[in-house]
Structure 1
Amino acid sequence: MNGHVKNMYFQLSIRTATTLLSLLLVMAVGPSKTITLCKNQQSGNSLQQTLKLTRLIYKESVDLLRIYKISQGDMSELFCKISNNDVPEPDISGLDPSERIASIYTHLQAFDPHFKRVFEQQTDLQLPPSALLKALSIVSNRSSSLTSLINCMYQSLFPNLPLPEPAWGPTSLPPSQNIFQQKVYGCIVLKRYKEFLSNAAKELRILKSQVCRKKTQMNVVL
């Protein structure tokens, strides 16, 4: 092996080792960095960001439901009126603020697998350049971001109270469905999710007013 080949082999080895080391560092630091960001985030900023994102997703969910109905053809207005016990209810539970924020968090977790199921079903029913699939993907991704923000906000506001697991346990998805059942199911999921986001935005507005009131009272005392 001549000197030029040896030099190329050495550089390749260095690049490979550096790449592997970078990946290992990302894997090791990533979760702790997320936790640090949550701990360093001020409760007021976290609450404002969460409320802003919730309002945005609610507006997008209104458009999403409209697009969904258009894409399902005849009788689409009737789909959302059929009852379905497999889909989470939109109501937020709890007596004090910590319980109600925790309820928002667990609801987001509960709706997530239903969103994924609707996306899978509609992927089979819609043509590839579909406005519905694009809208579903956007709302689903934003919802994942909202779940993370709620987590950070909860840690900031209630550092001594761990987030509970969903009271209803793992979310169960409906069994195999025919096309009509899929259309009904998707409409109910999107409708209840829209209603849930509306309820969540109201809760966050109330919490924001309470936090602002407490800060004003503290400033007056000081």
Structure 2
Amino acid sequence: MMPTEDIYQPLLNVIEFLGTFAFAISGIRHAAAKRFDWFGGFVCGVAVAIGGGTLRDIMLGVTPFWMTSSIYLICTFMAQMFVIVFARSLKSLDNTWFFFDTLGLALFTVAGLQKTLDCGHAFWVAIIMGTITGSAGGVIRDVLLNNVPVIFQKEIYAMASIIGGLAYWALVELGCDMTISVITAFLLIVAIRILAVKYHISLPVLRGEE
């Protein structure tokens, strides 16, 4: 019988590819808003697309995923061409950019969860690594663009990854198929992110001394 990771590796590869494309578009869009040139936009797209996964792999002690295949850099280049070609059509569609960012968060969280589990770590470690994979790229993007990272603001972002990871954990413990667990965690993260923004749901704000 084939190992579980071998059976589902094609699915994980698709998840990482889609996540890379979605996050790269998000990073390039923000760079365009800051009037970066094409090279600056590409650098920002790469930073968002591979930043979280690189940090995860370094912490797991494995070769960073983008160093084993050029497809991730090619994917980022494709994302840049997509933004350039359809810039006028997408310029006024803020919801589109939010959608791509949300997809990237959900896809990379799931990829981070599964890769950590495949490395033999406990589930609580997998949830942390999934959150880092999904949100660290956005932190790097915001630092490059001199913005306050979105995870440090009131907006629900990293918490969506954590909740999705907990759901994934619960489904696996209940004996659910991996595909079902992946899809459920993905949809839950997307739903939490969309509902939080739509209904202005946020975490309490810390109060300093007055």
Q: TM-score range by the shorter chain?
A: 0.3 to 0.5
TM-score (structure 1 length as normaliser)? 0.31
Instruction: Point out the structure with max Rg over C-alpha.
Output: 1
Q: Which structure carries more relative contact order (alpha carbon 8 Å, separation 6+)?
A: 1
TM-score (structure 2 length as normaliser)? 0.32
